[in-house]
Copies of this chain bind each other. A is one copy, B any other.
Amino acid sequence: MSIDRFVAQSIGRWKSQRSAHSLAFQHFEAVLSTIDILPVELSDRRAIDLCKAYDIDPAQMSSPFYMQWEGTSDWDDDQVMKGSTVLVPIPDSSDATKGRLLREQGYAETMAAVGEYHFTDDGTFVLMTPYDRASAEERIWFVNPNLRFRVSSIKTSEGTGVLTASFSSEVRTAQ
């Protein structure tokens, strides 16, 4: 699997069901959301600025994309959670199965983040993102072209304790 193919497969509108587990307290959270994933031009100012923020030559970008989401949680039905971010893959020049992923804003914190990704031999995308006091691992794979699963976990920087785990099943409703 290459990042270009992975991004191409991800373009569209996805209906997402997410369950989050707080491991210490055995709490469940259920989130329903709509996720839109759109391609971004290589000439896009946001993508170029993101490269520059990390001292990376914009010529190294491959398949930048834009994600926006809007959803509600069963913990607080009244509040709509929404957000958007530009993501820029920087594939490794010597190995197409891995690289870095830059994003304007992380999931766990409201700051820019850079993660390292690789693909396993069965095509699973694995992303590790270090944050200030925690790190996130995300695994995404396609069950079929219109269904993908995503498992995320967040652990403390010390690396021992996993705090939360979440699972999303995402069904594509439009391309």
Contact = CB atoms under 8 A, between A and B. Distances in A.
Contacts of A19: 19, 21, 28, 30, 167
Q: Among the interface residues A19, A30, A147, A153, which one has the most CB atoms of the partner chain B within 10 A?
A: A19
Interface of A is mostly: strand
Interface stretch (A40-48, A55-63, A119-127): A119-127
Nearest to A32: B26
Contacts of A169: 21, 23, 165
Interface residues of A, number: 28
A112 interface: no
A171 interface: yes
A70 to B, nearest CB: 15
A144 B121 CA distance: 21
A143 interface: yes
Q: Among the interface residues A121, A151, A153, which one has the most CB atoms of the partner chain B within 10 A?
A: A151
A165 B149 contact: yes
A155 to B, nearest CB: 8
A156 interface: no
Contact of A144 (B17, B124, B162): B162
A15 interface: yes
A167 B21 CA distance: 10
Contacts of A32: 26
